[in-house]
Structure 1
Amino acid sequence: MPHGNSIDSDPSSFRKYKQPGQLISTLEEESPNLPPSTHAPVKYGELVILGYNGCLPSGNRGRRRSRFILYKKEVPNGVKPDKRYEISAPRSAQVTKDNEKHTIAYTLSRHQTFIEEYTTDFKTDMFQIGRSTEPIIDFIVMDTVPGAKCQEDTVISESTISRFACRILVDRDPPYNARIYAAGFNSTSNIFLGEKACKWRTEQGMDGLTTNGVLLMRPKGGFQATSTPGVWREVSVCGNVYWLRETRSSPQRGKLVESENNILEDGTLIDLCGASLLWRSASGLRHTPTQELLDQLRKDINRARPQCPIGFNTLVLPRNRNVGRLLSENSKQPYAYLKCGHVHGFHEWNSKDQEGKEERMCPMCREVGPYEPLIMGNEASFCVDSEPPTHAFCPCGHMCSDKTAKYWSQVPLPHGTHAFQAACPFCATPLCGDQGM
């Protein structure tokens, strides 16, 4: 392979990327699908949160889950711009209190507010995403912590994800184009951009950005085996696309990108400053491996009866998608030496503890380094092809196909207010090596 070392005849070794972080062996597993409605409505697509490998730690419940499926609504609830005007008393005019009317209020000064009033659009369906638990939010997204963990409720008050982060409007007729806009309407059907918010006048009226922004990245060549990462942009409240600001909360907007729009293409990444989501269109999902296929690949690996070269016991990849560290000496769980890539069963041979981090000396090549369990990447939506799992990310050990590992190792995910870091899509753990870009 041009981008990795070839695998040798020893079944206990696996290929290791020299890019920002992937190792691996041979294995894989399964992930949950949300049940469709009883009358099988039209499916627009899915939003999948990076970092949870198919299920939240506390389980997928209601509007809080690792994946949200967008179905065609029985009654359209989309909105479109209608009237624009200015008022002299911000937030006191009746128009901003009428729950039947959706409005965006741009506060220009203490006594001047620009109002954009929206009307019902029977040709679109609207879905809202944010941290708020109010009924107006369709998909509740909390901060993602690397390692498939969620922040405790005591920390949520410090979240950088907006309570009403963004909204997506989908055409009800084919090809079901989905468009994303920064900011969502609150329980009174309003969006308020305060006096200090980043906003400006346009030929059509006003536009603005949310505090920490909503970023987009479309892959080049679609979402498939030959895809490469695109360029991160920021989408505005009105759906226009801009270059990134100097920092996430900078009051100065980036330059308008007139050649791009806010339509979500299959494989588009959406970053809400605290959580990243992957958009998979219904058409794109038809070419994505199913959970049944992933489970079959896992069974094929187990059927080959891979053997630990030290304990000579047969290694078995579990079906459980939440595989944890198994410390039994008789464990059949495959483990990998992340420095050299050799795979074994769990053993205590020549273990070392350096600065609280468990390390091992590989008995095959005597390389000392982290010794981690190999875990299946079970979220099928992250796969760019249907090939068997032959590589894994370092340092987490999540496994996937060669091309899937290569693609995500090159994706620079937003990190902090102005940095980017390649990370494992299954657990959000930063990858070893240089920042991927």
Structure 2
Amino acid sequence: MVVKRAPDSTESPILEETAVDGGDDQKPKPVVKYGELVILGYNGFLPAGDRGRRRSKFVLQRRTAGNGVRRSRHYVVRTPHSSQAILDANQHSISYTLSRNHAVIVEYTEDDSTDMFQIGRSSESPIDFVVMDTVAGDKTGDTKVLQSTISRFACRILADRDDQGTCRIYAAGFDSSRNIFLGEKATKWSENHEIDGLTTNGVLIMHPCGTFCGGDASCGLWREASVGGAVFMLRESRSAQLKGAPVLNESNELKDGTMIDLCGATLLWRSAQGLQHSPTKRDLEKLVDEINAGRPQCPVGLNTLVIPRKPSTAHASDQMNQPYVYLNCGHVQGHHDWGQDKESGARRCPMCLCVGPVVRVCMGLEPAFYVDNGPPTFAFNPCGHMATEKTVKYWASVDVPHGTNGFRAICPFCATPLEGNPGYLRLIFQDNLD
């Protein structure tokens, strides 16, 4: 097997399988990509850099051999921790503890027709994608979360090796001993001789209405996925004991644009087919170049403004050509002290005399968050991340879980909660003046 680094440094390595096709000739088999999981709040990479299994996005690709599992049989035991299935490190199993002396063990058998990918906070080897808590607006990675609410083994995804468009999500993941334990306090139930349950803080999913990259997408309803893959309405609060009502007309099958909330981090699923209709990182950089080619100018300093192609954490005063936007009117200008109120920090726009806050303008560079290929003429309020009109309007309409039972709209590039109504603004450049 040949390991190649993906052209975009934010992506996982691409694995290419090689097969002998007569004689000594080796021809690489094409890579089969299922899709990508992208964490909301990161503009293409983690603040401290993408390293190993901890990164801002994870590319799901067909493995050399299927490592999936499927439900086999279940039985009742009195001492689950000493049962043969739990002690056997080669046996995948889920233990549902009903009482101190009563548990149901569900054994899983190997299924080479599917690939299994696991997501969670743990750095143990069974986790393919290590996800930590997202801190809104954190650009340096220095902010630490004292107590994470993300499960160490949060969820798992099973991808059909023969039908690359079919990927399903399940709550909870198998640990290093290939076990999943649902304790006595975990929400669980038995129906039609089948047992199922929910994890402590739950795995929430939201399928968008319409086509994510078709320009007609809108926010769907948030649901909860069970350990067995069933779909339910939300509980009264995140960790309430009573499960929500079952949703029989929806499934745990991921569709392009499905969002997955792990109570501390929210992920966006982009299918391989859906990504073909999204812009690439190079496309977004070209859009920045086109704006800069118009030589936008600051009406006060009369200097040419330059939108950086890469995010920068340098101090604003060190970037004389860095554009800023007045959040109450949308006029884009350079850094200057004209019209500044020393007490409140608000500024008066010299173009329209509107008073309000200003913020640096920066490009949203994570392609997976875009719903179309238009020009980046809008920005989120109050962070200033630029994107296309349809992209900004879509995300401003999406309510992302926050806390135990709250929701709020955020900028997908930095996770900053949106302010005002509608939470975005049109950018007005003074450009193409020659």
Q: Normalization by structure 1: what TM-score?
A: 0.89
State how far apart, in whole Å, the 1-side matches of 2:295 and 2:360 are: 17
Deviation at 1:325, TM superposition (A): 4.7
Assess if the C-alpha contact under 8 Å between 1:219 and 1:230 holds in 2: yes
Q: Are 2:25 and 1:36 aligned?
A: no
Assess if the C-alpha contact under 8 Å between 2:132 and 2:265 holds in 1: yes
Assess if the C-alpha contact under 8 Å between 2:172 and 2:180 holds in 1: yes
State how far apart, in whole Å, the 2-side matches of 1:232 and 1:127 are: 22
State the Cα RMSD in Å: 1.8
Deviation at 1:90, TM superposition (A): 2.5
Assess if the C-alpha contact under 8 Å between 1:242 and 1:254 holds in 2: yes
Unaligned runs of 5+ residues in structure 1 are 1-29
Deviation at 1:323, TM superposition (A): 5.3
Q: How does 1:1-400 map to 2 (within 5 A)?
A: 32-39=10-17, 40-149=30-139, 155-156=145-146, 158-224=147-213, 225-322=215-312, 324-328=314-318, 331-354=320-343, 358-400=345-387
Assess if the C-alpha contact under 8 Å between 2:68 and 2:113 holds in 1: yes
CA deviation map 1:67-123 (0-9, x unaligned): 100010001110000010000113121211111111000000000010000000111
State how far apart, in whole Å, the 1-side matches of 2:263 and 2:368 are: 21
Unaligned runs of 5+ residues in structure 2 are 1-7, 18-29, 424-434
Name the aligned partner's letter for residue 40 of structure 2. L
Worse overlay, 168-177 or 396-405: 168-177
Q: Secondary structure at the residue paired with 2:358?
A: strand
Relative contact order (C-alpha < 8 Å, sep 6+): which is higher? 1
Q: Tell me the equivalent position of 1:402.
A: 389
| Shift in alpha-carbon separation, 1:435–1:298, aligned structure 2, 3 A | closer
Assess if the C-alpha contact under 8 Å between 1:337 and 1:362 holds in 2: yes
State how far apart, in whole Å, the 2-side matches of 1:373 and 1:147 are: 13
Worse overlay, 383-392 or 317-326: 317-326
CA deviation map 1:239-263 (0-9, x unaligned): 0000000000000100000111100
Deviation at 1:341, TM superposition (A): 1.4
Deviation at 1:149, TM superposition (A): 4.7
Q: Secondary structure at the residue paired with 1:407?
A: helix
| Shift in alpha-carbon separation, 1:320–1:435, aligned structure 2, 3 A | closer
State how far apart, in whole Å, the 2-side matches of 1:154 and 1:280 are: 28
State how far apart, in whole Å, the 1-side matches of 2:9 and 2:417 are: 22
CA deviation map 1:207-262 (0-9, x unaligned): 11001000000111121211111110000000000000000000010000011110
Q: Secondary structure at the residue paired with 2:341?
A: strand
Assess if the C-alpha contact under 8 Å between 1:222 and 1:265 holds in 2: no
Assess if the C-alpha contact under 8 Å between 1:170 and 1:177 holds in 2: yes
CA deviation map 1:54-78 (0-9, x unaligned): 0000001100000100010001110
Deviation at 1:361, TM superposition (A): 1.8
Assess if the C-alpha contact under 8 Å between 2:80 and 2:105 holds in 1: no
Q: Secondary structure at the residue paired with 2:103?
A: strand
Q: Secondary structure at the residue paired with 1:65?
A: coil
| Shift in alpha-carbon separation, 1:291–1:31, aligned structure 2, 3 A | farther
Q: How does 1:421-432 map to 2 (within 5 A)?
A: 421-432=408-419
Deviation at 1:152, TM superposition (A): 5.8
Assess if the C-alpha contact under 8 Å between 1:106 and 1:113 holds in 2: yes
Deviation at 1:362, TM superposition (A): 1.5
CA deviation map 1:36-65 (0-9, x unaligned): 224452111000000011000000110000
Deviation at 1:150, TM superposition (A): 7.6
Deviation at 1:185, TM superposition (A): 0.5
Deviation at 1:35, TM superposition (A): 4.3
Name the aligned partner's letter for residue 386 of structure 1. N
Assess if the C-alpha contact under 8 Å between 2:165 and 2:271 holds in 1: no
Deviation at 1:322, TM superposition (A): 3.5
| Shift in alpha-carbon separation, 1:367–1:324, aligned structure 2, 3 A | farther
Deviation at 1:313, TM superposition (A): 0.8
State how far apart, in whole Å, the 1-side matches of 2:143 and 2:392 are: 33
CA deviation map 1:283-309 (0-9, x unaligned): 001111011111111111111111111
Deviation at 1:176, TM superposition (A): 3.5
Assess if the C-alpha contact under 8 Å between 1:143 and 1:151 holds in 2: no
| Shift in alpha-carbon separation, 1:151–1:117, aligned structure 2, 3 A | farther
| Shift in alpha-carbon separation, 1:325–1:371, aligned structure 2, 3 A | farther
State how far apart, in whole Å, the 2-side matches of 1:206 and 1:285 are: 37
Deviation at 1:319, TM superposition (A): 1.8
Worse overlay, 141-150 or 236-245: 141-150
